[in-house]
Chain A
Amino acid sequence: MSMLEVRGVTKKFGSLVAVNDVTLTVEPGELRAIIGPNGAGKTTFFNLITGFFPPTAGRMFLEGRDITNVTATDRVAMGMARTFQITEIFPELTIRENIRIAAESAMGLRMKAWMSGSDTARVNDRIDEMLVATRLTAQADRLVGELSHGDQRSAEIAMALALRPRILLLDEPTAGMGEQETFQVAGLIRRLHRHANYTIVLIEHDMRVVFNLADRIMVLTEGTLLAEGTPQQIADNAAVQAAYLGAAA
C-alpha cells in the first residue's frame, strides 16, 4: 500500500489556481523531492497534504485511509509530521523543551497534569535520541531563539522526528543556509532516509541536494505537474530543461 496518495487536488485562492489537479503517490521508504520555481504552488501543495486548509477539489489518502476531511491535528496523530518554509518553533523555550512538547504529544501524554517517573524517563529518552540524531546535544539547554539559523532548522526537524512520524514533510529545510549548514542538513536527511528508513517528501531549491538524495522528483510550475520521475528522467526531460532547469543552469 502507498504511504501517501494524492488524487487530483486543486486549490484556488479567488481567481488564482495555486495548485491545479495534481496527483502524487509516495511509497513507503521513498524520498520524494518536489521542485519548481518560486510561486509554483509547492508550499500550497504541502498545506493541502497536511490539512492546513482544505482543497478546492481532489482527495488524499494516508496509508489507504481517506484523510481529505481529517483535521491537521488528527493527521499528526495518524503519523504525518512537517516543518515549515519559515521555521516554526517555540523561540522562548530551550531545544530540549521544544522537543519535549513534541515527544509528549506523540506519547499521548498531553492531558496529563502529573507524570509518573517511567513516563518522564521515556520522554527524556526520546528527547536525547532526537538530540543525538540531529546533533544538537551540545546546545540542548539553550533557547532556540538564540541559535544559528541552521540549528533552528535542525531543531524543527528534531521536533518533527520526535513525533515518530510515518511520513515526514520538509519545506525547504536548507532555505537561507550557507554551504556548511546545507551540507549538514543534507547529511541529516540522508541518514534519516538511508539508515532510519523514513518516508520523506522534500521541497528543495538546492539542486545538488535534490539530485543527490531523491529517489523520485516531481516538478511543479504554475500549480501544474510538469514532470515526474527518477532524477535521471527529470534531468533528461526536455520540458523540465526548458521551463526550469535550463534557466537555473
Chain B
Amino acid sequence: MSATTISAAPSRTAKPKLHLLIIWAALLTAPAWMGYIGGYDALASRILVFGLAAMGLNLLLGFTGVMSFGHAAYFGLGAYGAGFVLRYWVHSTPLAILCGILLGTVAGVVFGALMMRRTGMYFAMLTIAFGQICYYVAYSWNSVTGGYDGLRGFQRAPLDLGFTVLNIRDNGVLFYYFVLAIFAVCTALMGLLLRSPLGRTMIAIRENPRRARFLGINVERHILISFAISTFFTSVAGALYALLNNFADPTSLYYVISGNIVIMAVMGGMLNFWGPLLGAAIFVTLQDYISSMTVNWMSWIGIIFVAIVLFFPSGVLGFLRRRSASK
C-alpha cells in the first residue's frame, strides 16, 4: 500500500497520474479562482515559493531521512543573492536568480561539508547555528545588506525574451506564471532525481543506513550530496521570494523560517513527493487569513500543526492517499 507513496520505484498504479493532473490543473488555473476564495496573485506566488522551499528541504528530510533546522539560511541567501544583483549590479531577473542560487548553494556545500562530521542531534544543532550566523551577518552588515530594514530599493526586471518582453514587474499574474514555470522545471528535476541511482541512494540511506553502508554506499558523502541538492532548490525558492517581495530582509534567514519550512513539509506529508507543496498551501493560506484576524496567528498555526501531526501522522496528503488506496 505505501510502496507507491514512499519508494521512488516506477509506480504500478494509475492513481499518481490522476494526482498530477489535479495538482497541475489547480496550479495552472490558480489566478482564475484564487480571487473567489479570498486569495490574490501574490498569495498564490508565495505558496509556490514556499512549496518549492519545502520540497527542496524534503529531499533531505523526507527522502534521505536527515533533519535540518537551518534551511532558512539557504532560502535567505538565495533572496539576498538575487537582491544584490538587482540593487547593485544589473537590472536582470535571470541573473538575479542565478546569483541567488549560487550564493545559497555554495553556502550549502561549504556548511554541509563542515557539518558532515557530526550526526544526529549535533548535526541538527549545527544546521541551526549556521543559519543564525547568516542571520547575524545580514543583520549587522548595515552598509551592504541594509541591516534590520533589509535590502530595499530594487525591483524585479521585466523579462526580455527577444521577440517580446514579459512585464512580470507590474503584472502579478504574469509573475505568478513565471514562478510556476521555474517551479515546474525544479519539480521535474526533483522527480527525475528520485528515479535515478543518485535518488535511490538517498532513499536507501533513509530506509536503512547500515544496509546502505554494507552495499558499498558512502553514506556520509551521499548525505552531503543530498544536503547540497536540497539547498540548491531552497535557494531557488529564496531568489524567487526576493523577486516576489522586491526586498530581502533578515527574517528570511531567521530560524523561524527554517521551522516554518519543516512544518510545511511535515504537515503536508514528508514521505510524499507533493506533500510539502500541500503543506505550504495550508500554512501560507492560514497565515494570511489568521494574521488578518489576530496578531496571535502563530499560536493558531501551532495548534493546527499539532492537530495534524496527532491525527494524520503521515501528513494531510499521506492521509488522503492512504484513504484512496484502501477504498
Contact = CB atoms under 8 A, between A and B. Distances in A.
Interface residues of A, number: 34
Given A50-B214, A82-B214, A110-B217, A104 B200 contact: yes
B198 A111 contact: yes
Contact of A101 (B200, B210, B219, B225): B200
A93 B213 contact: no
Contacts of A111: 197-198, 225
A76 B218 CA distance: 10
B192 A113 contact: yes
B316 interface: no
B215 interface: yes
Given A110-B197, A112-B196, A92 B207 contact: yes
Contacts, number: 90
B304 interface: no
A179 B166 CA distance: 73
A78 B204 CA distance: 21
Contact of B216 (A73, A84, A113, A114): A73
Name the prevailing secondary structure of the B interface residues: helix
B12 A92 contact: no
Nearest to B2: A92
A102 B204 CA distance: 10
Nearest to B209: A88
Nearest to A104: B197
A91 B208 CA distance: 9
A82 B214 CA distance: 7
A77 interface: yes
A97 B207 CA distance: 12
Contacts of A159: 211, 215
Interface in A49-81: 50, 72-73, 76-77, 81
Contacts of A248: none
Given A109-B197, A113-B196, 10 more contacts: A84-B210, A84-B214, A88-B211, A91-B207, A91-B208, A93-B7, A101-B217, A105-B217, A113-B192, A143-B2
16 contacts: A72-B214, A73-B217, A77-B216, A81-B214, A88-B210, A88-B211, A88-B214, A90-B211, A91-B207, A92-B207, A93-B203, A101-B204, A105-B217, A106-B216, A113-B199, A114-B192
